[in-house]
Amino acid sequence: MEKLIIHGGRRLEGHVKISGAKNAVLPIIAATLLGQDTPSLLDEVPALEDVTTITEVLRKLGVQAEFDAERHQLHVDASTIGSCEAPYDLVRKMRASFLIMGPLLARCGKAKISLPGGCAIGTRPIDLHLKGFEMLGAHIEIGHGFIEATAPEGLKGTKIYLDFPSVGATENIIMAASMAEGQTILENPAQEPEIVDLANYLNVMGAKIRGAGTNVIKIDGAKKLVGRDYTIIPDRIEAGTYMVAAAMTRGDIYVENAISEHLKPVIAKLKEAGVEIEEDVSGIRVRCTQKTKAVDIKTMPYPGFPTDMQAQFMAMLAVSEGTGFVTETVFENRFMHVDELKRMGANIRIDGRTSVVEGVEKLTGCQVKATDLRAGAAMVLAGLVAEGETQVGYIHHIDRGYDNLVGKLVGLGAAIERVDR
Ligand SMILES: CC(=O)N[C@H]1[C@@H](OP(=O)(O)OP(=O)(O)OC[C@H]2O[C@@H](n3ccc(=O)[nH]c3=O)[C@H](O)[C@@H]2O)O[C@H](CO)[C@@H](O)[C@@H]1O
Ligand SMILES: C=C(OP(=O)(O)O)C(=O)O
């Protein structure tokens, strides 16, 4: 089994370059399905397992898709689509595969996709996606583990209010509505920077989307969208993870490409913890000279504190001065890392949706597992400051979302290696 072996206690310093955002590139790759006539060339595509998986999904649909991981470029020619069906083996690997439903419905008037199922962090239903498709005029049938959506007469623009600002539902609805007849008004959508990136790409393809990033999005359906070149935004969660690494190791890291506008709650909380932050147009410098102070965090949809940074902050709080409260409101079961951190000596107790983290003097290295992607990142961060050796297993979760994690950390002076034993 592949593992990461970390020897803790090294101060991290230097430059790290942030890759393109996983959560922007996945919906954008799904959106390439809408591009007729000309191919799309996507730039700054991170080399991640999730990118490989969604590229395979495109190929299963009969679309030409080539990923050049060295150049970080993905070439997609969706001028013809051969199939509208996504099988379980691929959707199971990555829930974001479900994002092809909106584009397929818009482009082909039908889609059959395996039900994604739950995952470690929660049941993650897709009711809001389906409600949106139905309001746009699609007929939905569920059976034999598949969801089949059809709209033989095409989709029609309408007003849709989302009960919760779901990121995936917002993306799927925008993509479906971009080729619907007439106007769609989406109220209470997600406002994440990745939604704005998707809308920008769709607009470059010929869509008419206004208001992405605000609480109302208006989409005027276009007759046809064409493939276009596009560059993906930097990954704010990857950036935030290295910022926490600087804070925990009392290091000094320049996080190149990080966009401070996208990281406001993370920056605010790091400053509150006593970390020095300097922002400029090319990135963010993070310096820490003392033990961090405990802070409280509560995850919320954007622009609130991101749930995808909760586990990494928990690792930091585990070795901070004082007691911090971590409240998770977005996912119902995103505390799997607590037991793993406890194995390393952390003092954490869970009380419903809140974890109470009492900082300890030191963590000690041991064998732990990455129970999900960000839990895995938290284990690596804890390993960077733990006494002795930490072995992190189940690292396929980490490969889903961190491009060259080991290389980037080694470049900053960490003692970390990937082994297969
Ligand atoms: C590929 C991608 O971009 N993944 C991100 C996306 O996931 P994802 O798009 O799955 O997250 P959502 O915003 O949809 O989910 C947030 C909450 O809404 C619930 N929900 C969602 C849809 C639905 O139809 N019904 C429903 O109840 C979910 O179970 C969850 O509790 O946003 C999450 C929240 O910021 C991030 O943690 C993920 O990294
Ligand atoms: C939960 C995450 O991703 P996904 O929605 O792809 O599972 C994440 O990026 O932390």
pLDDT tens-place values along the chain, 421 residues long:
999 999 999 999 999 999 999 999 999 999 999 999 999 999 999 999 999 999 999 999 999 999 999 999 999 999 999 999 988 888 888 889 999 999 999 999 999 999 887 678 888 899 999 999 999 999 999 999 899 999 989 999 999 999 999 999 999 999 999 999 999 999 999 999 999 999 999 999 999 999 999 999 999 999 999 999 999 999 999 999 999 999 999 999 999 999 999 999 999 999 999 999 999 999 999 999 999 999 999 999 999 999 999 999 999 999 999 999 999 999 999 999 999 999 999 999 999 999 999 999 999 999 999 999 999 999 999 999 999 999 999 999 999 999 999 999 999 999 999 999 8
Contact predicate 293/274, CB 8 Å: yes
393 alpha carbon – ligand 2 mean position (Å):
18
- Residue with CA nearest ligand 1 atom 9: 168
124 lines ligand 1 (CB under 6 A): yes
What is the rounded (10 degree) CA torsion for 298, 300, 346, 341? 170
Question: Is 43 annotated as belonging to a binding site?
Answer: no
Q: State residue 305's pLDDT score.
A: 98
- In terms of Cα–Cα distance, which of 95, 99, 87 is closest to 116? 95
Distance between CA 388 and CA 125 in Å, rounded?
A: 41
In what order do the strands lie in the sheet containing 347-351?
A: 297-298, 323-327, 354-358, 347-351
Quick one: which H or E segment has residue 208? Answer: strand 208-210
199 alpha carbon – ligand 1 mean position (Å):
18
Among all bound ligands, the one having the nearest atom to the CA of 131 is 1
SS3 sequence of 328-373: CCCCCCCCHHHHHHHHCCCEEEEECCEEEEECCCCCECCEEECCCH
Quick one: which H or E segment has residue 85? Answer: strand 85-86
307 alpha carbon – ligand 1 mean position (Å):
10
Q: State residue 118's pLDDT score.
A: 67
122 lines ligand 1 (CB under 6 A): yes
Among all bound ligands, the one having the nearest atom to the CA of 128 is 1
Distance between CA 316 and CA 292 in Å, rounded?
A: 8
Contact predicate 315/244, CB 8 Å: yes
Question: Is 125 annotated as belonging to a binding site?
Answer: yes
Phi, psi of 367 (to 5 degrees): -85, 125
11 lines ligand 1 (CB under 6 A): no
Instruction: Please list, residue by residue across 190-225, b when 16 or more beta carbons sit within 10 angstroms of its beta carbon and e when fewer do.
Output: bbbbbbbbbbbbbbbbbbebebbbeeebbbebbeeb
User: Could you identify the atom of ligand 2 that is nearest to the CA of residue 308?
Assistant: 10
Instruction: Tell me the best of 51, 93, 374 to mutate to test the pocket of ligand 2, counting ligand atoms within 8 Å of each CB and taking the most.
Output: 374
Instruction: Please list, residue by residue across 119-156, b when 16 or more beta carbons sit within 10 angstroms of its beta carbon and e when fewer do.
Output: eebeebebebbbbbbebbbbebeeeeebbbbbbeeebb
Question: Is 39 annotated as belonging to a binding site?
Answer: no
- Residue with CA nearest ligand 1 atom 5: 23
The token pair at 288 is 């820490």
Cis before 234? omega within 30: no
Per residue in 210-255, pLDDT (tens digit) is 999 999 999 999 999 999 999 999 999 999 999 999 999 999 999 9
144 alpha carbon – ligand 1 mean position (Å):
24
Q: What is the DSSP string of 36-70?
A: ESS-EEEES----HHHHHHHHHHHHTT-EEEEETT
User: Could you identify the atom of ligand 1 that is nearest to the CA of residue 168?
Assistant: 9
Among all bound ligands, the one having the nearest atom to the CA of 311 is 2
In what order do the strands lie in the sheet containing 146-150?
A: 85-86, 110-114, 146-150, 139-143
User: Could you identify the atom of ligand 2 that is nearest to the CA of residue 168?
Assistant: 5
Distance between CA 313 and CA 240 in Å, rounded?
A: 9
For the annotated catalytic residues, the residue numbers are 119
Residue 48 CB contacts under 8 Å (≥ 6 apart), including other chains: 22, 399, 400, 401, 402, 403
Instruction: Tell me the best of 52, 119, 299, 308 to mutate to test the pocket of ligand 2, counting ligand atoms within 8 Å of each CB and taking the most.
Output: 308
Among all bound ligands, the one having the nearest atom to the CA of 26 is 1
Q: What is the CA radius of gyration of the chain?
A: 21
- Specify the domain boundaries for CATH 3.65.10.10 within the chain: 2-19+234-420, 22-231
* ipTM at complex level: 0.99
User: Could you identify the atom of ligand 2 that is nearest to the CA of residue 26?
Assistant: 6
What is residue 215's DSSP assignment? S
198 lines ligand 1 (CB under 6 A): no
- Residue with CA nearest ligand 2 atom 10: 308
Contact predicate 356/332, CB 8 Å: no
- In terms of Cα–Cα distance, which of 162, 224, 239 is closest to 193? 239
- Residues enclosing ligand 2, CB less than 6 A? 23, 95-96, 308, 373-374, 401
Domain 2-19+234-420 in this protein, CATH class: alpha beta
pTM above 0.90, yes or no: yes
Q: State residue 409's pLDDT score.
A: 98
Domain 22-231 in this protein, CATH class: alpha beta
* Greatest pairwise CA separation for the chain in angstroms: 65
User: Could you identify the atom of ligand 1 that is nearest to the CA of residue 302?
Assistant: 35
Distance between CA 267 and CA 260 in Å, rounded?
A: 8
- In terms of Cα–Cα distance, which of 313, 256, 245 is closest to 279? 256
331 alpha carbon – ligand 1 mean position (Å):
8
Quick one: CA dihedral 395, 396, 402, 404, positive or negative?
positive
Distance between CA 403 and CA 421 in Å, rounded?
A: 22
